[in-house]
């Protein structure tokens, strides 16, 4: 009777520790970090709106790291998903601003050329 109780406790304990603690979200962490790098390389820091989302991404990665060390892996995973999207948005905004600047520049050049030709 006592042995059986002990065996049950062991089995239950094993199940508990396996299910209760979600695995550390290594993949989500490195994905978010990679996207932050990508956004930085893409010039997100040079544009205020993009820079804001870059900062949000970094802050959330820091938060996720804290959550991981506290054992809140499930929460950390969700935080990292948010962080990754902020990094992606930062990059997209940086690209958008660059494309808009290039378009304005091109339009201006065309305008100048037309003006010159119509002299």
Partner 1 sequence: MMPRSTRFANVRFSVSGSYGVRPALVGASLSVLFLACGGAAVAPQELLDARTAYAEAAKGPAADLAPAQLDTAKVSLDGAEQSFKEEGAEQVTKDLAYIAQRRAELAAAEGGREKAERKRAAADKDFKTAQIEGLQKTKEQLNAEKAARVDAEKKAAAAMSSLAEIAKVKEESRGVVITLSGSVLFATNQSSLLAIAKDKLDQVASALQGQGFKAIVVQGYTDSRGNASDNERLSLKRAQSVRDHLVSRGLPSDKVTAEGLGASKPVADNGTADGRAENRRVEIVVTPDK
Question: Is residue 96 near partner 1 by the rule CB under 8 A?
Answer: yes
Closest distance of CB 78 from partner 1, Å: 5
Question: Is residue 44 near partner 1 by the rule CB under 8 A?
Answer: no
Which of the stretches 8-16, 19-27, 29-37, 80-88 binds partner 1 when contact is defined by CB under 8 A?
80-88
Contact yes or no for 39/54 (Cβ under 8 A): yes
For 54-75, give one letter per residue: b (16+ CB within 10 A) or e. Answer: bebbbebbebbeebbeeebbeb
In the numeric block, the tokens 């990679």 are attached to: 34
Q: Which residues bind partner 1 (CB under 8 A)?
A: 78, 81-82, 85-86, 88-89, 92-93, 95-96, 99-100, 102-103, 106-107, 109-110, 113-114, 116-117
């Amino acid at each position: 009777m006592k042995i059986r109780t002990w065996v049950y406790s062991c089995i239950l304990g094993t199940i508990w520790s396996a299910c209760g603690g979600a695995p550390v979200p290594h993949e989500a962490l490195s994905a978010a970090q990679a996207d932050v790098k990508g956004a930085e390389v893409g010039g997100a820091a040079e544009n205020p709106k993009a820079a804001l989302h870059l900062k949000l991404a970094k802050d959330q990665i820091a938060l996720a790291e804290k959550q991981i060390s506290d054992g809140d892996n499930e929460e950390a995973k969700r935080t990292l998903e948010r962080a990754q999207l902020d990094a992606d948005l930062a990059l997209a905004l940086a690209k958008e601003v660059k494309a808009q600047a290039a378009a304005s520049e091109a339009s201006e050049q065309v305008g100048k050329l037309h003006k010159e030709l119509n002299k």
